[in-house]
Amino acid sequence: MIALITGASSGIGDAAARRLAREPDATVVLVARREERLKALAASLPRATWVGVDLTADDAPARVREHLEAEHGRRLDLLVNNAGGAWRGAFGDKGYENVRRTMELNFDAVVRLTEALLPLLRASAPSSIVNVASVAGRVGRAGSGAYSASKFALVGWSESLALEERAHGVHVGIVLPGFVRTEGFPARQLPGVIVSNPEKVAEAIVRAGPAGKPEVYVPGWWAVVPRLRFLVPGLVRRVSGSGAVAPPTTADRQP
């Protein structure tokens, strides 16, 4: 199995790379901006290669594809779109620019990379794409509108892509974490019962990818929040406005 993970230099991406590396005959391809971290992680894994690139760069999708073609013979069995970030702030304060840069990384970069690699995934079918979204992609939250917009877009696009690519043998799964303790979001002020860790998200990625699940919440009880959103939207709006529901997965940009 050839598995490519973006945002692999820390947090969820690092954990996902380590978890997927335990799969039989797996080779992981690590993608992130911080090359020194990628080198160190690659050296600790049985079989790994890496690409140091900013996924918002114009040439990023082509560079990643060229690496796969040169190092792995145009094969790709699993694409994990994990890299992302958040810059908190109310729209009235941060305006369009905050929405633009968040969408550029969390949505546009994912779509561009997937477009470049989709022919390889089809050629390697049965294969999988896992898009790491967030509970914030189902329920909005005050101060995180740009982040929610990007994750709502990612979830909607992923659901449509899953229907389109099923005929080509490419499964598309979505992972929706709640609070996750990462480098960008240490969550020191939150009770441990509602905070997950990157290793649990990594297991969810396996379930949403090779295991074929369409959608996995981390932890599973977060799945009740979107249901409440449709059943009692007024109540959820009041709670969300207080900052108690559906936070960003990270507080700043993932590397």
Q: The domain that contains 162 carries what CATH number?
A: 3.40.50.720
* pLDDT tier, 251 (very low <50, low <70, confident <90, very high otherwise): very low
Active-site annotation holds for 147: yes
Residue with the bigger pLDDT between 197 and 8: it is 8
Query: Quick one: pLDDT at residue 252?
Result: 39
* pLDDT tier, 29 (very low <50, low <70, confident <90, very high otherwise): very high
* pLDDT tier, 182 (very low <50, low <70, confident <90, very high otherwise): low
Residue with the bigger pLDDT between 194 and 232: it is 232
Amino acid at 146: A
Residue count of the chain: 255
Of the candidates 50, 147, 217, 222, the residue annotated as catalytic is 147
Total domains, the chain: 1
pLDDT at 180 over 90: no
251 assigned to some structural domain = no
Say if residues 132 and 80 touch (Cβ distance below 8 Å). yes
252 assigned to some structural domain = no
> 209: domain range?
2-241
Say if residues 190 and 179 touch (Cβ distance below 8 Å). yes
pLDDT at 178 over 90: no
Peptide bond into 233 cis (omega under 30): no
Query: Quick one: pLDDT at residue 232?
Result: 81
45 assigned to some structural domain = yes
184 assigned to some structural domain = yes
Angle, alpha carbons 184-162-255 (nearest 5°)? 20
pLDDT at 52 over 90: yes
Say if residues 13 and 24 touch (Cβ distance below 8 Å). no
Q: At what angle do helices 60-72 and 109-123 cross, to 10 degrees?
A: 30
47 assigned to some structural domain = yes
Say if residues 248 and 176 touch (Cβ distance below 8 Å). no
246 assigned to some structural domain = no
* Residue 65 Cα distances to 47, 130, 170, angstroms: 18, 17, 17
What digits encode the pLDDT tens for the residues 61-102?
A: 999 999 999 999 989 999 999 999 989 899 999 999 999 999
Question: Please, what is the end-to-end C-alpha distance for the chain in angstroms?
Answer: 24
58 assigned to some structural domain = yes
Average pLDDT of every residue of the chain: 89
% of residues, the chain, pLDDT over 70? 88
% of residues, the chain, pLDDT over 90? 75
